[in-house]
Amino acid sequence: MQRRNHVGCVDSGFHGSRFADSTHWVRFWFLSRFTHRNESFTCINCGLQVEPSERTCRNHCPHCLYSVHLDVFPGDRQANCGGIMEPLRIEYNSRKGYQIVHRCQRCGHESRNIVLQDVAVQPDEQEALYELMKHPKA
Ligand SMILES: [Zn+2]
Ligand SMILES: [Zn+2]
């Protein structure tokens, strides 16, 4: 199977299977339906309109810290789950700084997302972060 060179046809791991075409089609639908990370999005949990960040790693709401399960690895948009990801706790990583641990309420997948603090537009709210530090959920 040939690898094509436009958005939506990245290596899927389904080479040669009869699912290849539908996988590509689903991914195209997914990418066109959900904005990628540098566009604004509406928070699925609290409804806040989240503006794009000048940094590239915004994937959670700065107000309630909820996210949506779209990535297998940060930024790849390879997960076709779409479940709501609840913030569980804050962890400190000596290399990456503070991270929010999210768990998908649909499939149980956990992921870590770097806290967005040093940005001009909608940094993660201190109160929400403190609340999560004081009352981790798991
Ligand atoms: Zn929110
Ligand atoms: Zn999920």
Residues 6+ apart with CB under 8 A from 120: 54
Does the reported pTM lie above 0.85? no
Q: How far is the CA of 86 from the centre of ligand 2 (A)?
A: 11
| High-pLDDT (> 90) share of the chain, % | 46
Q: How far is the CA of 63 from the centre of ligand 1 (A)?
A: 5
Confidence band for 52, pLDDT divided at 50, 70 and 90: confident
Q: How far is the CA of 94 from the centre of ligand 2 (A)?
A: 27
SS (H, E, C) the chain: CCCCCCCCCCCCCCCCCCCHHHHHHHHHHHHHHCCCCCCCEECCCCCCEECCCCCCCCCECCCCCCEECCCCCCCCCCCCCCCEEEEEEEEEECCCEEEEEEEECCCCCEEEEECCCCCCCCCCCHHHHHHHHHCCCC
Condensed to tens digits (0 to 9), the pLDDT of residues 81-93 reads 999 999 999 999 9
Condensed to tens digits (0 to 9), the pLDDT of residues 58-70 reads 789 999 999 999 8
Average per-residue pLDDT for the chain: 77
Question: What would the two tokens of residue 99 be?
Answer: 């991270």
Q: How far is the CA of 104 from the centre of ligand 2 (A)?
A: 5
Q: How far is the CA of 59 from the centre of ligand 1 (A)?
A: 11
Average pLDDT for 19-35: 50
Q: How far is the CA of 105 from the centre of ligand 1 (A)?
A: 15
The answer to whether residue 45 scores a pLDDT higher than 70 is yes
Q: How far is the CA of 108 from the centre of ligand 2 (A)?
A: 6
